[in-house]
Amino acid sequence: MADQSATPTPSPAPPAPTGPTPKVTNRGRTTAPIAISNSDTTDIPEFEPFVAPGPRGFPPLTEFLDINDVDMMRKPDENNKIEHHTTLYSSDVLIVRRGQEFQVKITFNRPYKPAEDKFAVEFVIGSNPQYSKGTYIPVFPAKERKSSWESRITDTSDNVVTVGITPEANAIVGKYHMYVTVVTPFGVRRTKRDNSRDLYILFNPWAGDDAVFLDDEEERTECVMNEMGIIYHGAYEDIAERNWNYGQFNYGVLDACLYIMDKSEMPITNRGDPIKVARKASAMLNSRDDDGVLVGNWSGDYTYGVAPTSWTGSTEILLTYYKSRMPVCYAQCWVYAAVFNTFLRCLGIPARVVTNYYSAHDNDGNLKTDIILDENGRIDRNRTRDSIWNYHCWNECYMSRPDLPLGFGGWQVVDATPQETSDGMYRCGPASVQAIKHGQTCFPFDASFVFAEINSDVVFYSRSKEGTLELVKVNRTHVGRLVLTKTPGDVTRRDITDQYKFPEGHTEERTVLEKAEEYGCKRETSNPPPADVDLVLSTLEISIGDDFEMNLEFVNHSNQQRTVDAYISGSVVYYTGVHSSEKSTTRLVEQANLHFIVTGKVKETGQIVTATKLVTLHNPKLIVQVSGAGKVNEEMMATVQFTNPFSFSLEGVYIRVEGPGIMLPKFKYYSLITAGSSLTWTEFFIPQRSGSTRVIATLDCPALRQVYGQATVNIVD
């Protein structure tokens, strides 16, 4: 040991660093750097001697067992990919799922002799493979040594040995490399590194011991294997659908998803835990604090990127991020949810996109969405900070929750839309849906935030000139009115509101809200007497450019005459419920939402009456037609047609088109579509696989957003 009392010799100051500033961590001392990149690899020597060689080196090893060839059995029509449900991935590499056996064929230089020969199969992942970390896994088929992964010899024929290998059900998810080693008296020799022996290991919802096991074949097929998504938007009284190609099997998407975890510097050793993977990804899908995948934009100005309403699927977004290493512009909630869905399904975690209608975004951290009215009953927009989104999309992913009490596994909410920070980053979840339903808002992660999104009360206050607030109305049923997702195996919608909350007025509902209050979720307990006059606004369905009338109906429940001084205001709103300050036509058609609020004061009683109505304006549609034989590997043709129905020209128009399993994303630019004129775009494509799918198209320009069209296509072999 050095003499600690010795006076140190002064040394010159080190030169100023010229590279990037090193990250400060709280890991303390470690024997080796933590591996955080799946793409980094370490070459393992082809020969490891047991002893030092003599003066003449080692004798020739030709008389001992050697490896001539390794067949990963990685073709789509071979058993590995078929049995592991990975035939749809556009990859020449072997892709399997953990907790389930796969097979490899090893050809030796002579017949294998179990009594004399010893060989092993090794798997490594990351830049610093270690046995203790689960990143170096030796597998011994002859069972002379134990391994964390099971293996067995399933067949021998001449020089060929077929080995069955079963990764642990909690194995790290990612890209591995496989080596085959044989033991000689002088040392271990192993195959050269060869990319053909790479393999991906994914989560396995078919394996009972995997944390993501989903014991429902129809749900599992939908939430892991289906590429064709339907995302619900619009308004509670006027629900709209948006088709989306998740594209989780498209070429390069799996590598892009693994890169997202590399970019986050997530330790390789954490990548077998779906809770940690989902939480890390909820931060990485947005770019707010970590240069993640997507840049959010609710401004209406998309000059430097693609408008959120223009995307047709996740493939272009993920591949652009993977290739450029830069965040992709732009996204809003449904884009975040759709791309997150692709990430989860691609890695094998069952996932679905969920839409909550009238979703509260409460800036005060309570269970109240506060609406401040002035003394005349008009909304005071300067003092009303909370907002109610017309709809909000998030994801659910399916997994066990060993960190929570029994019964809170299953569907978990995760949300990549950057709304509020969680543990210092813009992310949300995973939060147990069961915990949300039963008011267990203290459970990790972010259950209280999601609980408020579907359970907040809308509280109206009247503010006097002196600044005092008087409670005038509490609406306990407006928020979280409807929660939808796609029906498994169908193109219809499925109401899952009852999975998040008990029916309004139900005994359990009151118990849940009281429990949430115990955990610090404050809500409005007062119930002001209801006004004896009701106000009803008519439901409207109108298209952009149409004139319309709005009817107000006042219902007097008293036996006396009532006089109401009413005020009606209409404004353009974003789907987030935020009112636009601009009055331009382009803003109107982009948002396609009008929000009306009527407030009034009953002259005889002084009571305040209020009613709101959201009107979603309907856009023109694209016409999509598909023609051709409808057979795999035979050319077909998709035609997109559009007629400009307006009295003004459309400038800077982009049309995008793609189809799961049949057409990769394509787009075309039109500088001008004059008033009343039509366009036709024809694109040829060759289907790669059979089944029912859709061709999806969007039209987008600064003056017109959210124009969609689709055509169903049935492909046969």
| Helix locations, 457-574, DSSP H | 507-518
Distance CA 655, CA 38 (A): 36
Given 3-state DSSP classes, what are the helix, strand and coil percentages for the chain, each rounded to the nearest 5?
Answer: 15, 40, 45
β-sheet bridge partners, residue 505: none
β-sheet bridge partners, residue 114: none
Distance CA 47, CA 412 (A): 48
H or E segment to which residue 345 belongs: helix 333-347
Distance CA 302, CA 330 (A): 7
- Angstrom distances, CA of residue 217 to CA of 205, 222, 224, 489: 10, 9, 10, 10
Q: Is residue 139 within 8 Å of 151, Cβ to Cβ? A: yes
- The residue type at 318: L
HEC string of 549-582?
CCCEEEEECCCCCCCEEEEEEEEEECCCCCECCC
β-sheet bridge partners, residue 161: 106, 156
Q: Is 3 annotated as a binding residue?
A: no
User: Parallel, antiparallel, or unpaired for β 160-166 and 150-157?
Assistant: antiparallel
Residue 219 region, left (φ>0) first, then alpha (ψ -120 to 50), else beta? alpha
Residue 636, token pair as written in the block? 């077909």
Residue 66, token pair as written in the block? 């050697």
Q: Is 457 annotated as a binding residue?
A: yes
- Angstrom distances, CA of residue 713 to CA of 281, 492, 611, 625, 660: 33, 17, 45, 9, 10
Q: How many residues does the chain have?
A: 717
Which residues neighbour 260 within 8 Å (Cβ) at sequence distance 6 or greater? 281, 284, 285, 292, 293, 321, 343
Q: Which residues are catalytic?
A: 333, 392, 415
Distance CA 555, CA 562 (A): 10
| Annotation: binding site for Ca(2+) | 455, 457, 504, 509
| Annotation: binding site | 455, 457, 504, 509
